[in-house]
Amino acid sequence: MTSVKIKDLHSSEYEHPLDRIGLEALRKIPLFPKVLELCTVPQNSITRLELFGSNLKVSERQMPSLYKLMKEACETLEVEEPLFYLSSAPQLNAYTACPDKPIVCIYSYLLDILTDDEIRFVIGHELSHIKSQHIVYQALGTILGENLLSAVLSTVPGLSTFSQPAIYALNYAYFEWYRAAEYSCDRGGYLACQNFTASCTALMKLAGSSQRYVNELNLEEFIEQSRNFESVSSQGLGLVQKIILSNGRSHPWSVSRVHELVKFNDSGEYTNILERKAPRKELPSASDETANTTSTADKAKDAAKGLVSGFSKGFGKLSGKSEKE
């Protein structure tokens, strides 16, 4: 299959509204991306060496058929080719690392269970993390996960009392954004492979699959499962349980991912982007889109904002500043 190259594609054209809100907020913080990048330089170096020494580097001369899928996806999404590695780990997984010199690593088990178009989707998903600069901000997750932020804040006089609520609020908001970023990258994966069915079946196989029963998978049943899940988890006790269970999750629920991709396709957004019917300058802002949304993610985001607001007021009183300031 030959994909249509999307000229002058900008990530904001397909990013999920909540992802764009998070990215806009993060980008407004002076020097924040640079500080995060510098903080992770040592880890990036270690990751590069580990991948270089332990995995197979894919290139024009090493697994050229797989390399071709990467090259085509890069051309379609207008992303500079990253270093590309194949891991022998027996998992259905792929990841992107090192914002300074991006690397995409795919696990070999994926290649055994996915079709070429499904692999294109996975590659496009990972390239979208690079295009949106997610990997810069995902470094924050490393800092939170290793409790480095807690250690730093606890050394600042007067902040020890407030550090844990602040970290909790930041952690909550961070993972809300992280999950929304995955929705964006699923959209990018779809744009890369340009096959809706393959994009959805790739997500279905990532949710749960087996080589033995791969021919018995039913996409319509999986999409119906996603509708039922959204219905059960969008109100009342189901909503509360979903928010609690989502806390700390880096990825959205598997069925939610296919549900969001179906919405992206059915809304006409995908076709508009592919056929260049919606120039970037005409795209609605993230804030405009979100103002009309009543999704679970919005409600969770509001809860996180409340926590951050509470911390800000407490810190303002501690520092002797009025709330107006």
Domain boundaries, the chain: 11-316
Query: Using 50, 70 and 90 to split pLDDT, how confident is the model at 318?
Result: very low
Closest C-alpha among 116, 131, 106 to residue 2: 116
Q: What angle do CA 261, 266, 269 make, to 5 degrees?
A: 80
| Mean pLDDT (the chain, rounded) | 75
More confident site: 87 or 174: 87
98-154 pLDDT, tens digit per residue, is: 877 899 999 998 898 999 999 999 999 999 999 988 887 776 666 655 555 555 556
Please state the rounded mean pLDDT for residues 17-35. Answer: 74
* pLDDT of 274: 86
* pLDDT of 194: 94
Contact call for residues 104 and 96 (beta carbons, < 8 A): yes
Residue partners of 181: CB distance under 8 A and separation at least 6: 16, 19, 22, 129, 132, 134
* pLDDT of 46: 77
* pLDDT of 82: 93
182-224 pLDDT, tens digit per residue, is: 999 999 999 999 999 999 999 999 888 777 888 888 888 888 8
The pair phi, psi for residue 318, each rounded to 5°, is -65, -40
Could you tell me the pTM of the whole model? 0.74
